[in-house]
Amino acid sequence: MTDPENNLSKNETLKSIRNRRSVRMFLGKDIKDEDLKTLLQAANQAPSAHNQQSWRFIILKKEKKNELVNLICEKAGNFPKPASALLRLASRSIISAPVVVAVANSGQLISRGTELFKIDKNTGHDFFRIMEIQSSAAAVENLLIAATSLGIASVWLGVLVLIKKDILEFLGEPQGEFMAVIPIGYSAKQNPGPNKQSLDMVVKYL
């Protein structure tokens, strides 16, 4: 079998996919507005179920970022140790990053989809909710890979789902669904990241 490492060196897109790593500590150096716009454009370019593009990107810097950190630390105390520790770790990543992109689903597909498919409300809600999550996940991954391609580090913080209601209210998206909080910046240290499983373990041919 061909070495996958070699295949992911074939072109710049594949190299960015290979090089993307979760980075949790950042340098103080700011991100250029133009680079941030590029990342958001890349995220917005993702495929979406029924082309509803039901993602929302909320940008936090400086004071707003600090407010988010305070909120997380305050709520972390309500959880037992492993969860509270992960929430506090997430808050440290947020503090160290110059910019945070939060992603929420608008619920637009859920509300339009049921009518579109003429299916009952419960089935429709479940079906279209999954579609919204998948669409936004594609947008998040686009953003992470685009960031890598520009030498910008990032991490997808999902643990904040634990306090999603508070986060959505803070983001001004109370009707939405929490997807991700992504601190972005320049990496404070080289991070080779965990190894990925070999394809033999995750692929089967029928």
Ligand X SMILES: Cc1cc2nc3c(=O)[nH]c(=O)nc-3n(C[C@H](O)[C@H](O)[C@H](O)COP(=O)(O)O)c2cc1C
> Could you tell me which stretch among 4-12, 62-70, 149-157, 182-190 binds ligand X (CB under 6 A)?
149-157
Contacting ligand X (CB under 6 A), which of 76, 145, 159, 182?
159
Q: Which of residues 30-89 bind ligand X (CB under 6 A)?
A: none
Contact status, residue 24 vs residue 93, Cβ threshold 8 Å: yes
Edge-to-edge strands of the sheet including 55-60? 55-60, 99-105, 177-185, 153-154
| Least CB distance to ligand X at residue 157 (A) | 4
Q: How far apart are CA 147 and CA 42, in angstroms?
A: 9
Helix/strand/coil for 180: strand
| Least CB distance to ligand X at residue 18 (A) | 10
Q: How far is the first Cα of the chain from the last one, in angstroms, to the nearest whole number?
A: 18
Tell whether residue 127 is a contact of ligand X (CB under 6 A): no
> Could you tell me which stretch among 25-33, 61-69, 154-162, 167-175 binds ligand X (CB under 6 A)?
154-162
Tell whether residue 157 is a contact of ligand X (CB under 6 A): yes
Q: Which of 25, 119 has the CB closer to ligand X?
A: 25
Q: Which of residues 4-33 bind ligand X (CB under 6 A)?
A: 21-22, 24
| Sign of the torsion formed by the C-alpha atoms of 160, 164, 170 and 176 | positive
Contacting ligand X (CB under 6 A), which of 39, 109, 131, 155?
155
Tell whether residue 146 is a contact of ligand X (CB under 6 A): no
Q: How far apart are CA 192 and CA 186, in angstroms?
A: 15
DSSP element (H, E) containing 76: helix 62-76
The footprint of ligand X (CB under 6 A) covers 21-22, 24, 90, 155-159, 193-194
